[in-house]
Structures are given as C-alpha cells and as structure tokens.
Amino acid sequence: MSSTRTTPGATPAGGPGTAAAPAPGGPAATPAVEVRGVVRRFGAVTALDGIDLVIERGELVSLIGPSGCGKSTLLRVVADLVEPTEGEVRVGGKSAHRARLDQDYGIAFQAAGLLEWRTVAGNVELPLQLHGVGRAARRERARELLDLVGLADFARHRPSQLSGGMQQRVAIARALAERPSLLLMDEPFGALDEMTRERLQAELLAVRAATGCTVVFVTHSVPEAVFLSDRVVVMSARPGRVAAVVPVRLGTAERDDAVRATPAFAASVVQVRAALRATEAPR
C-alpha cells in the first residue's frame, strides 16, 4: 500500500491537533468544504481518485456525472459517512469526523427516509429530539421550518399521507432543523416528476437565500445543476475524477423560473453537456 495520507506530525498546519483552534484569518476565511487528494477504493474498485475540491462559504455547488462516477460517494466522504482511503476532508476548517460529531451539516437523500410512525412535525423534530433539545423549543422550530417549506398545515399528518414532493420538503426541513451551515443533498429531487422538481428547485434557492447556508448538491440532471448552482463540478466515471468545473453566471439576483428561458442559461447547459460528453470521449 502506497498510502500518501499525512501523519499528524508531518504537517503541523493541517494535523488533527489543530482542528479545534481557529484557522488563520478567522472562520469567515475558512472554506466551507476542502477536499484534498481524496481517494476511495471499495475492494479492487476505485470509486474516487485524487479528488481536489474547495467550496467557499455560501456557495451552491452541484456534483454531476454519469452513474458510477462516485458523486454520491464524494458527498458521503464530506459527510463522514464513508471514510476516504487516502487524502483529507475538512468541513468548515474541522476534520469531517469532527464536523459530523458537531452536527455542522444537514443531509437529505433521494429517498426522503421519513419515519412512518412519526408525524410530519415529529420527523422534523427528530434530530433535535435526538440531541436533547427540549419539547417546547422543538415544537417551535418544527413549526418555523414547516412554514418555510410551506407545509404548516400538514404538521400532524403522517408521511404516507403526503405526496413525494411534500415528503422531500419535509426531509429538507429536517435537514435544516439544527441550523447547519452546510446542506448536503444526494439527488433529493431525483424521484420526482418534472413539475414538482422545478418547483422544489426554486424553493431550495429561496431556503438557501433565507439561511445563507452552503449547499453541495448531487444530481444527474444538467438543467437542474445549472439552475441551482454557482459552480457545476463535472465528474468522470471509473475511476471517479473531477473532469471539469463549470462556473454558472446567471446574475446574482435571485433566480426564478424565467431564468430557464434565458440565453445565458442555455449557454451554461450546453457548456456542462459538453464537459459531460468529454468524460465519455475516450470510450
């Protein structure tokens, strides 16, 4: 094994011992996510190979690529749900592990993963309850969040009474429950129909504007990536690598559905598609 993982003593600036200390230049200067030389192997398969990626605070970055390119694995490495074989991940200046223990991020998956035996409000309250937040504060926060995602009237419903889009909204509200500075989303709208999907995309942007959190968004839809993102990270498959990073410039004003009809949007879509095609070229 030719592990290039740095030992704590070798790099005093990045070692685990300094994780608790404020980074030079203050917390605001620390990127939200830093991925350095990350390799992840599953047995003989290399899912991620030499990933370097820095995501600034407040940025919305999409990861896109053919299936099997490791975009979900990369998200899980950032979430400390999968350990990198090599390399280092820092979230808000801390190790990914520390960030998970500190609940610095919220996460949402393609399957909403709501607990069937809890009400909608109960599901939103789940992380708060697990981390010992009092009942009154929990109720208040769940009400707030359900307001934010437009489900205030469904607080007492069961998840099975909700449509797929509504369930996904609940999952997003749950991910935001502890006011994370980072929101990780793994194809959250992947199973929804086009109309619902576009509506939720606009809602996600509104939520992001309201909370100011950084978002890492895994998707396989080019228009979705372009509509949402400040930057689109295009990945190639087997082994998963960053093939291109496409900045999206659609103006700083809040995006609405009208953006989808602009030439700038179309241009970005073409650009991302081209980058995606390029990843398939050698075959």
Q: From CA 189, how far away is CA 207, in angstroms rounded?
A: 15
State yes or no: residue 276 binds another protein (CB under 8 A). Answer: no
Contact (Cβ atoms closer than 8 angstroms) between residue 204 and residue 55: no
Q: From CA 148, how far away is CA 223, in angstroms rounded?
A: 25
State yes or no: residue 131 binds another protein (CB under 8 A). Answer: yes
State yes or no: residue 81 binds another protein (CB under 8 A). Answer: yes
Contact (Cβ atoms closer than 8 angstroms) between residue 231 and residue 242: no
State yes or no: residue 103 binds another protein (CB under 8 A). Answer: yes
Nearest distance from residue 109's CB to another protein, in Å? 5
Select from 127, 165, 223, 240 the one that contacts another protein (CB under 8 A). Answer: 127
Nearest distance from residue 63's CB to another protein, in Å? 17
Sheet with 86-91, edge to edge strand ranges: 45-55, 33-42, 86-91, 94-95
Contact (Cβ atoms closer than 8 angstroms) between residue 172 and residue 184: no
The site string for another protein over 160-199 (x = CB under 8 A, - otherwise) reads xx--------------------------------------
Contacts of 266 (CB under 8 A, 6+ apart): none
Place of tokens 């993102």: 229
Select from 115, 210, 245, 264 the one that contacts another protein (CB under 8 A). Answer: 115
Q: Which of residues 143-162 bind another protein (CB under 8 A)?
A: 158, 160-161
Contact (Cβ atoms closer than 8 angstroms) between residue 91 and residue 104: yes
Select from 87, 92, 105, 218 the one that contacts another protein (CB under 8 A). Answer: 105
Of 115 and 245, which has the nearer Cβ to another protein? 115
Q: Which residues bind another protein (CB under 8 A)?
A: 79-81, 100-101, 103, 105, 107, 109-113, 115-117, 126-127, 129-131, 158, 160-161
